[in-house]
Chains A and B, each alone.
Chain A
Amino acid sequence: MSDIHVDVAVVGAGPAGVAAGIGAREAGAGRVLVIERDWDLGGILQQCIHPGFGLHTFKEELTGPEYMHRWIERAREAGVEFMTNSMVFGAHPDGSLDVMNPDRGVFRVTSGATVLAMGCRERPLGAINIPGSRPAGIYTAGTAQRFVNMEGYMPGDRAVILGSGDIGLIMARRMIWEGAKVEAVFEIMPWAGGLRRNIAQCLDDYGIPFYLNHSVVRVHGHDRLEGVTVVELDSDRRPVPGSERFVPCDTMLLAVGLIPENELSRMAGAEIHPVTGGPILNELYQTTRPSIFAAGNVVIVYDLADWVSQEGVAAGRNAALYAAGALPEPARRLAIRGGKNVRLFSPHYVTGGADATVYFRVTRPIEKRCRVFADHGLYERRERYARPGEMNEVRLAREALAALPDDVTEIVVDAEEV
């Protein structure tokens, strides 16, 4: 099959990829192609039929599909081309892609610049090391969400949710709406993984018990899940003696974390950060392969789709500039470092060539007034709290970066009590 050449190629048509397409076209790129393996556009938001999207971008509460519909319309108006049901199965250091679909077979897409926007996948049971049998009835929350919201099937009658990531919280409510029973949500950490508003709207409003410092220590059942043994953990994460109890259920949904999906980034030789699991970027969303850019959950797991779309636009714009030879050469290299209470962050360095936004998540929650800051007096904002479930952002202005003395090589970002 003949190859395709475009100015900017984008992998993935979730919020990040669709926005990247728009960003690239708006910055003047000629041919912009977004390649998506699913039949439809929209990424994970296709199955997020609950409201809660777009408060920042559109100032109204939209469902996932509504939110994406607006972006996709905008992309079509901007002249972005889409190719769906097409799997990118290889990526090369120059950004060219190996693609296949049932219409064209196997072919190569070459480009002036490429944006990776593959999103993330859910952590499976095996990765969290719970012993026991392996019956039917254990699903990641996103898989269950796909079954219920897109295929129209119920995965079970009586569920427990392990982990308090947002998808799990949303699925707890969804299961109730569909007539199932939800026994409880168990979270191993002393704080919730998801957004506070989701705990209120999805658990509290439906009287679903939520246990922090609890974990499932054993799975029971041969054919179908029959129950789980849960245990309370002390402050050293050790089981509290005598706290073991059996919870009968036929379904367990896992909301125990998301892992950026970076096989392609690895294949292309982009350096992956060991903590985020995503590519190492500068503030231009550029990976360590100069013609390859990345945005969205493939880089770091975001809390809100609005930020993902914003980042996508910027990454697409820079990719278009790169393809046109117009991206400014890096002025210098300033490493970003996470402070004491920072679990993960991106980008990992800045070049000083543009305004930069550093996103980070805290390790431990701070439930009082705190400051979110970058050192050298570059940025400071007061907040009422900082929680692991929510992203914090720090903005670094280009002028301020330029004014930093030459011997500064590192910028620390953090959140701390005031």
Chain B
Amino acid sequence: MTDKFYDIVVVGAGIVGAALARELSAYDLKIAVIDRAADIPSGASRANSAMIHAGYDDKPGTLKAALCARGNSLYRELAGPLDITLQNRGSYVCGFDDRDLKHLEILLDQGRSNGVPGLEIIGGDELRSAEPNVSPGIKYALRAPTGCIVNNFEAVLAFMDNAQQNGAELFLETELKGLALSEDGGEVAGAITSRGLFRTRCVVNAAGVDSDLVARMAGDESFSISPTRGEYYIFDKNYGRLVHSFFFPCPTEKGKGITVAPTAENNLLVGPTSEVQESRTDTSTTRRGLDDVAEGARSLVPSITPAMAITTFSGLRASADTGDFVIGPLDSPRGFVNVAGIKSPGFTSAPSIARRVVEMMKDALSDRLTFAPNVSFVPERRHIPRFESLPAEEKARLAAEDPRYAQIVCRCETVTEAQIVEAIRRGARTVAAVKIWTRAGAGRCQGGFCGPRVVAILARELGIPPEEVTRHGGHSRLLVGRTKDYWFKGAGR
């Protein structure tokens, strides 16, 4: 890799790195995106509420306020051409008493000055006539008709996939270890990674919860990040229709509180908690966290119980001590750009952050980068066919074209062999990546049935023995050896 030169190296392939890579790929630039994970998304972009917020939460004047509502409208524009599942379901912040009403009024004002369309406060009965399963205790609700639910996996893959189609290169399992600087230390000359040096003029820090550590590599100590854990339950699809829109309690200083939301696939999601922690990697769930989630969810939708769960997960917010996004190029070393501390509403804001950052780079780094248009830029891409939701004729057509579409691998989500092979062709290398691309293993049996079959397909397509297939890269191998060899080697003794 040392002999290759890139105009820009983006560190981190979360929603921010991916959206930025796509935005940059509209220009004639050589772009590398590196991520230490074996499958993307892996950081906060993997484990979040998947809400495309309307934009009333943030104080006017902050970057968050400026970028969130704009991001919301960009998703609506881009969902079609990038083939991202986006559902405009609307959201409600719920108030239980008159003090809460005051709160809702503040949010309403904030939203209006942030340019959020269609906001209104309605009464509890009006709410319940549309959403019969919400708590009878809710007296008021702030309705935001532009709130959307996104498939967050698909969104990251879509931006990245399209960037790759337009020439950007993605390097997984590649960790940034340091920066190579010019002799005087004033300019970026390369990115030192676990896979060697990437020579480059520009390094963009989109490293999420580790973005302060990456900034330190450039000598920037202006902010630091407190990883803040959020835990969730996911419920079976049988309960996805309990609510149509998504719901928040009144926010507190800790955040937006425990929400209840459908997912883009009609599962039901409840969470997150908000707990500051030391570790930047520990995404365990805890008994207390999950109990808090269940309790919080019940105050909005009383019939919710943990017995409906199919799985639990948690994500880490990159809470910066500046209280806002940290965006922009450093004066020194020149060529280093922060897109750091992107916590909620970071998923929503990513497309508008990407545009803002490109504008800033054009202004500040014109001596280092030439922003000529990429004449072969294609702004669209298609996701792998979502077999399960296709009409019967379309299913029949695909199956007739390619018999692997008639070979079901995941029976809970009706995922076919053809989809899995295509995911591998587009870069999936692990069982988790196949799940992210296709939903194989994301259903109610959680891979119990399709797990061995997915392992076999990965091994076959990648030309590796099944023992080398991992769940999510690193040491996460699924099998330890062939049965009889294993015995003769005395491996278990």
Contact = CB atoms under 8 A, between A and B. Distances in A.
B404 A102 contact: yes
Contact of A131 (B234, B286, B491): B286
A223 B310 contact: no
Interface in B80-120: none
Interface string B446-489: 11110110001000000000110011111111111111101100
A139 interface: yes
A153 B478 CA distance: 10
A113 B493 CA distance: 55
A215 B131 CA distance: 38
A178 B479 CA distance: 13
Interface stretch (B20-28, B196-204, B242-250, B391-399): B391-399
A142 B392 CA distance: 32
B135 interface: no
A37 B487 CA distance: 33
A157 interface: yes
Interface of B, secondary structure class, is mixed
B492 interface: yes
Contact of A124 (B283, B406, B448, B479): B448
Contacts of B286: 131-132, 218
A254 to B, nearest CB: 9
Contact of A122 (B281, B399, B445, B479): B445
B165 interface: no
Contact of B309 (A90, A126, A155): A126
A135 B411 contact: no
A181 B112 CA distance: 63
Given A106-B392, A151-B452, A154-B480, A121 B445 contact: yes
A126 B311 contact: yes
A179 B490 CA distance: 7
A224 B392 CA distance: 41
Contact of B491 (A127, A143, A179, A217): A179
A157 B403 CA distance: 38
B277 interface: no
A98 B392 contact: yes
Nearest to A134: B313
B428 to A, nearest CB: 16
Interface residues of B, number: 60
Contact of A105 (B282, B312, B400, B451): B400
A118 to B, nearest CB: 10
Contacts of A102: 399, 403-404, 406-407
B478 A154 contact: no
Contacts of B444: 121, 124, 127, 259
Given A135-B476, A151-B456, A100 B445 contact: no
A181 B447 CA distance: 24
A57 interface: no
A218 B285 CA distance: 9
A101 interface: yes
A126 B312 contact: yes
A153 B448 contact: no
A124 B309 CA distance: 10
A282 to B, nearest CB: 25
A157 B470 contact: no
A269 to B, nearest CB: 15
Nearest to A100: B406
Given A124-B445, A124-B446, A131-B289, A157 B392 contact: no
Contact of B487 (A126, A137, A178): A178
B306 interface: yes
A121 B448 CA distance: 8
A98 B446 CA distance: 24
Contact of A153 (B285, B447, B482): B482
Interface string A372-383: 000000000000
Nearest to B287: A131
A104 B289 CA distance: 50
Interface in B365-403: 392, 395-396, 399-400, 403
A142 B470 CA distance: 20
A101 B406 contact: yes
Centre residue among B309, B479, B491 by max chain A CB count within 10 A = B479
B9 interface: no
Contacts of A154: 479-483, 486, 491-492
A152 B483 contact: yes
Contacts of B306: 129
Interface string A152-167: 1111111000000000
Interface of A, secondary structure class, is mixed
B370 to A, nearest CB: 42
Contacts of B193: none
A222 interface: yes
Contacts of B471: 135-136, 223
Nearest to A37: B408
A256 B244 CA distance: 32
Contacts of B332: none
B19 interface: no
A394 interface: no
A175 to B, nearest CB: 8
B323 to A, nearest CB: 30
A104 B479 CA distance: 35
B36 to A, nearest CB: 13
Centre residue among A37, A156, A223 by max chain B CB count within 10 A = A223
Interface string A235-263: 00000000000000010000000010000
Given A132-B284, A136-B476, A143-B451, A100 B399 contact: yes
B396 A105 contact: yes
B480 A125 contact: no
A180 interface: yes
Nearest to A122: B448
B290 interface: yes
A58 interface: no
Given A133-B284, A179-B486, A217-B287, A155 B403 contact: no
A5 interface: no
Contacts of B477: 136, 224
A364 interface: no
A106 B400 CA distance: 8
A147 B459 CA distance: 14
Contacts of B451: 139, 143
Given A1-B396, A126-B309, A129-B290, A147 B479 contact: yes
A223 B472 contact: yes
A343 interface: no
B284 A105 contact: no
A150 B467 CA distance: 15
Contact of A100 (B282, B395, B467): B395
B408 to A, nearest CB: 4
A306 B315 CA distance: 48
B414 interface: yes
Contact of A125 (B311, B456, B475): B311
Contacts of B400: 1, 105
Interface string B240-270: 0000000000000000000000000000000
25 contacts: A1-B396, A89-B414, A101-B407, A105-B396, A122-B445, A122-B448, A124-B446, A126-B309, A131-B287, A131-B290, A136-B472, A147-B479, A151-B452, A153-B467, A154-B481, A154-B486, A157-B492, A178-B486, A178-B487, A180-B492, A218-B284, A218-B287, A223-B470, A223-B471, A223-B474
Given A1-B400, A127-B444, 17 more contacts: A102-B399, A102-B406, A126-B309, A129-B290, A131-B284, A135-B476, A140-B445, A142-B448, A154-B481, A157-B491, A178-B487, A179-B487, A179-B490, A222-B282, A223-B474, A223-B475, A223-B476
Interface of B: 234, 281-287, 289-290, 306, 309-313, 392, 395-396, 399-400, 403-404, 406-408, 411, 414, 444-449, 451-452, 456, 466-467, 470-484, 486-487, 490-493
Which 6 A-B pairs give the minimum distances between C-beta atoms? A126-B311, A102-B403, A136-B471, A124-B446, A106-B396, A223-B475
